[in-house]
Amino acid sequence: MKLEILTPDKTVFEGEITSITVPGSAGSFEILKDHAPIISTLDDGQVIIRNGKDSQSLFIKGGVIEALRNSIVVLAEGINQ
């Protein structure tokens, strides 16, 4: 799957992943390959990006996620460093 994480200032992440876990407004959820199309608002919280056995995480300040045909875009209001 292709993932892009964008803030108003910059592109934070762009690349291939196997899954992503995000802090949805109604609760945390994971997106895997061939996930049904979805658009959801995101709360402040941890985003976990996995590629095989490797993983990395970052904290976002709210935003929106869209997943469609194995392409995921996260528009975050900001990233906590």
Is the pTM higher than 0.75? yes
* Alpha-carbon distances of 10 from 15, 38, 66, 79, rounded to whole Å: 15, 24, 18, 10
Instruction: Give the pLDDT score at 81.
Output: 64
- The per-residue pLDDT for range 30-41, each reduced to its tens digit, is 999 999 999 999
Q: Which CATH class is domain 2-80?
A: mainly beta
Instruction: Count the Cβ atoms, other than its own, within 10 Å of residue 36.
Output: 7
| pLDDT for residue 53 | 93
Best CA proximity match to 65, nearest among 10, 26, 81: 26
CB 21 within 8 A of CB 27: no
How high is the pLDDT of residue 56?
A: 96
Pairing of strands 71-76, 2-6: parallel
Task: Please give the chain's pLDDT, 81 residues, in tens.
Answer: 999 999 999 999 999 999 999 999 999 999 999 999 999 999 999 999 999 999 999 999 999 999 999 999 999 999 986
Whole-angstrom Cα distance, residue 12 to residue 45? 15
Sequence spans of domains, the chain: 2-80
Give CA–CA dist 4/2, Å, rounded.
Answer: 7
The confidence score (pLDDT) of residue 8 equals 96
